[in-house]
Structure 1
């Protein structure tokens, strides 16, 4: 180790730290309330409910304290034995999938092993305190569990230089150069985020929409203030007579279904002889603040159906909805069933929730107090900033999507690797105030759509009226649309439903091209209201679910026609795919 270089680098790190602080403070006005103030207050209120249960009874308080101290004493005793040269079994072990403690230093050094075990004893004790607190409102308990998990992830010794053996080695071997580079990365991210830390998960300069992402050839054939409609050029001499309309989520951009050519579901569908149209939602600003869920139905899906009919010559289409795009599609189908509109002949729902009873950890962000706070902020701006939703999604998997990048970027001083999926993940979108409020209230807060209590354009929505063939895909490790939640929603429909469970999560389980040979899917479990019984009886199949879907689709829509020209000779293309709307940054 070069001591002189270490001292010089520490001085440079301090200097760079001043620049980081300036980048954080510059956009903040004096006496301006921090956006986090209400969130922190709500978190403290939630944790207080748990503390009150344990402190209300002195015996319970003593029991809780004794349990924690017993764990600490066991770790201390084992550490003394290891320092004396004895072999001992650890008091506790991390999960085998936990990558934070993979470095050999955590096992080889008795001190770092003790630090790791002390951390695990503490966090598991805290989780038990929440789990065992009786009489709490279920929502409060869910929030407390989530908050404890976030704090536990944040205070892990793996996240700090002086308590992580790998980071200590890195710092000594580079004479502190890693910390200088890390502080510069921190400054750059603060500047990029306008004073808000925007942690880079990938090299954002490695990708460009339209250059090496979203490159499937096609044309924008229609646009209004909410969306552009893209039709893709055929690659086969004949195509299925029934075209396919994709309805992506507006919370993210549509090109998750058209990443690189080898990962593109859109390209794969086109290559299978399917005429594909996709909606590309606008990235809205304050001018669209009053656009609601019914506007997205009428000016989005319904207008797209009109346009697809003109371009394809077919009145009836197959619709595919992804995530919240699927929720919008389901409500649209219910509206159409009530109004006698049969233009959608069949539908596919990709990781789509219709019933939100078991909607996972996103529900911790939605209660009347939090929703009122969100609506106040949206009323001021006219929309919800895309970064807010992106942060919420990242928190669902903070040990995968936040802390590894904090360590890599700011402590190791390394640049993140280029990864197309994470580039898309960082390419966030805004949500109009009216639309987002309707979605949060009628889905997460009251579950009104599933209960038949919601209205769109003056029509009561009853999803049980949907009686067309449906393919419903869930993913096994989904943190956003849990598999059992998707199953419950699919069972509300009246038509024939093929429910399929794919391996992996919300994105990787969907974007799983057959050529990769990754993951698996399960199908053909026993029908009925129980997801657990379905899962026990379902048959496992290796590889992607995409060919299974194609077999299902072809069984309902076998007829073919000569390949169609884009626009059908009736519509003049506006511009090349992927269009302007998807390139608008938040």
Structure 2
């Protein structure tokens, strides 16, 4: 359905809003203003809360004074910023203690105020914590004992290197240096290097079929749908931690969707285009090449959310071509969607839409900045200290190279994603339409394998676990340690890995996440091996591998993996 073009007055307003967005890094001022006003009005009429905070401040000062006089600092939650030996000595122990007390005091001040809405309370706590963290003594060369020691030992050469590092980073941001990807990692050489062919291409995807490495393979191929917010090769990193290479070695025929990096001409591509061009045409291609009546579908992050939409539509339409569906760190309900949910409101989405209107897409820098803000300690301040104050560059590794290789998102698709999923939660509440008809996750008929990660700030595991509420089919749920990316890239042999896994039959009673966690035994190792066994149990006896691509026509091999779309900047 086409929308009417904006009137000149509306266009002027959008230009003004876009200018505001540039000045505020894409954050709607009204979102923070509403939260602050809600908190301030109720805080000013809460004398009990004010007295409690005064009492807490007095206790903090007494504890701090005791530390200054040589006493033992009060116990606090471990904080990696202050774990070094230098931080245990005076006066650094006092400064670090003062900062932690100040941070916690502001958390107490922003929360527990009578009648403040939970959304505003959480946002104010996040903003206050982020602001207080800018004042951490670890961020200054004059109050960080590690930086002071390095400067004395190296006669200030660490600061000279830091200045050079800073100049290099500014050059990259200004476009004077071509790429932020570490040079010793190269897509097609030691990243995304699993052997295969591009067997299909349309205006949105390239479909890669990987070459078999076993004499026989399961008849049911695997189609992997990654997120389009980043390049697909998070699932095909280095040889030792490539999920694709692992599955191929287990006797599976694997296909991968590689998304186009959209530009201005793609501004009108929407979620329905992503479903049809990205998943349904890929399923058609996989079946045409392999002649398999059923396939295993795997979706990661946004790709998993899109796969849930596509498979729900298939269930509604009695399309039974799926042998199983796997969701990796993917959400279908967005009411508890992590810190990013704090900023999603109608005003914020409108501001993002106006910001995208000029170019027709959301830039990779804008996305990276938003995610960095959510974890400022790890993604902003830790690199500043390491690169600019200590003059060190972190050891490059494949996941960091992938993280620097970001993509854009079409304006229409991103708007629909934010409004229909994050803002309105249409998918979970039965209002989402695919193919002009409403769908429900309960329409998925294939058995489900779902994975959540313990430290996920993008798709918290309890949010992923909500699949149990919406599905009416057998489900195997895995909770693995690690974050949104590292928990999924969890190859066998990776040290300190553990996970929990449990089956829930379609007719079983519901268990809440805490009950599931308590009743499910932790296992050491990688969940990949259990995943491969789960897929094999739902596949038929192995046979000779299918051909790589069709003999001719639109499914014939067109190029070597990793293809051309993944190379787009």
| TM-score in same-fold range (> 0.5) | yes
Q: Which residue does the alignment assign to 1:35? A: 22
Task: Work out the CA distance in 1 between the residues paired with 2:268 and 2:88.
Answer: 57
Q: Which residue does the alignment assign to 1:371? A: 349
Cα deviation code 1:61-117 (max 9, x no counterpart): 4542442243124302430x22xxxxx221353x32x21112211112x21111111
Whether contact under 8 Å (1:525, 1:539) holds in the other structure is: no
- Please state if 1:122 is matched with 2:102: yes
Give the deviation of 1:56 after TM superposition: 3.2
Q: How does 1:48-59 map to 2 (within 5 A)?
A: 48-57=37-46
Task: Work out the CA distance in 2 between the residues paired with 1:187 and 1:392.
Answer: 23
Task: Work out the CA distance in 1 between the residues paired with 2:142 and 2:176.
Answer: 26
Equivalent of 1:451, from 429, 440, 457? 429
Equivalent of 1:561, from 533, 543, 566? 543
Whether contact under 8 Å (2:332, 2:428) holds in the other structure is: yes
Cα deviation code 1:141-187 (max 9, x no counterpart): 22112212222332211011011111112222323222222122222
Cα deviation code 1:28-51 (max 9, x no counterpart): xxxx76714363834455345434
Q: Which residue does the alignment assign to 1:160? A: 140
Whether contact under 8 Å (1:525, 1:538) holds in the other structure is: no
Give the deviation of 1:443 after TM superposition: 1.5
Whether contact under 8 Å (1:92, 1:121) holds in the other structure is: no
Task: Work out the CA distance in 2 between the residues paired with 1:161 and 1:490.
Answer: 50
Give the deviation of 1:254 after TM superposition: 0.7
User: Structure 1 residues 59, 469: CA separation in 2 closer, same or farther (over 3 Å shift)?
Assistant: closer
Give the deviation of 1:514 after TM superposition: 1.2
Task: Work out the CA distance in 2 between the residues paired with 1:36 and 1:330.
Answer: 36
Task: Work out the CA distance in 1 between the residues paired with 2:481 and 2:328.
Answer: 13
Q: Which residue does the alignment assign to 1:418? A: 396
Whether contact under 8 Å (1:472, 1:490) holds in the other structure is: no
Task: Work out the CA distance in 2 between the residues paired with 1:513 and 1:464.
Answer: 32
Q: Which residue does the alignment assign to 1:26? A: none
Moved more, 568-577 or 427-436: 568-577
Give the total of aligned pairs: 544
Give the deviation of 1:55 after TM superposition: 2.7
- Please state if 1:141 is matched with 2:130: no
Task: Work out the CA distance in 1 between the residues paired with 2:288 and 2:216.
Answer: 19
Equivalent of 2:73, from 71, 84, 90? 90
Task: Work out the CA distance in 2 between the residues paired with 1:197 and 1:398.
Answer: 25
Cα deviation code 1:286-330 (max 9, x no counterpart): 111110000001111011011111211113211000011010000
Task: Work out the CA distance in 2 between the residues paired with 1:522 and 1:140.
Answer: 34
Whether contact under 8 Å (1:234, 1:565) holds in the other structure is: no
Unaligned 5+ runs, structure 1: 1-31, 83-87
Q: How does 1:470-481 map to 2 (within 5 A)?
A: 470-481=448-459
Q: How does 1:469-548 map to 2 (within 5 A)?
A: 469-524=447-502, 528-548=510-530
Whether contact under 8 Å (1:123, 1:152) holds in the other structure is: yes
Moved more, 520-529 or 357-366: 520-529
Task: Work out the CA distance in 2 between the residues paired with 1:422 and 1:511.
Answer: 13
Moved more, 274-283 or 128-137: 128-137
Q: Which residue does the alignment assign to 2:290? A: 312
Q: How does 1:33-432 map to 2 (within 5 A)?
A: 35-37=22-24, 39=27, 41=29, 42-43=31-32, 46-57=35-46, 60-79=49-68, 81-82=69-70, 88-93=71-76, 95-96=77-78, 98-108=79-89, 110-194=90-174, 204-432=182-410
Give the deviation of 1:390 after TM superposition: 1.9
Moved more, 532-541 or 257-266: 532-541
Unaligned 5+ runs, structure 2: 1-18
Q: Which has the higher helix share?
A: 1
Cα deviation code 1:502-522 (max 9, x no counterpart): 122211211111132541111
Task: Work out the CA distance in 2 between the residues paired with 1:544 and 1:534.
Answer: 20
Task: Work out the CA distance in 2 between the residues paired with 1:372 and 1:311.
Answer: 43
Moved more, 492-501 or 67-76: 67-76
Task: Work out the CA distance in 2 between the residues paired with 1:211 and 1:461.
Answer: 42
Give the deviation of 1:542 after TM superposition: 1.4
Moved more, 61-70 or 425-434: 61-70
Moved more, 273-282 or 183-192: 183-192
Task: Work out the CA distance in 2 between the residues paired with 1:254 and 1:450.
Answer: 26
RMSD: 2.3
Q: Which residue does the alignment assign to 2:567? A: 583
* Secondary structure of 1:567 counterpart: coil
Whether contact under 8 Å (1:386, 1:428) holds in the other structure is: yes
Task: Work out the CA distance in 2 between the residues paired with 1:441 and 1:197.
Answer: 36
TM-score normalised according to structure 1 size: 0.88
Whether contact under 8 Å (1:233, 1:565) holds in the other structure is: no
Whether contact under 8 Å (1:189, 1:199) holds in the other structure is: no
Task: Work out the CA distance in 2 between the residues paired with 1:501 and 1:197.
Answer: 40
Task: Work out the CA distance in 2 between the residues paired with 1:499 and 1:33.
Answer: 43
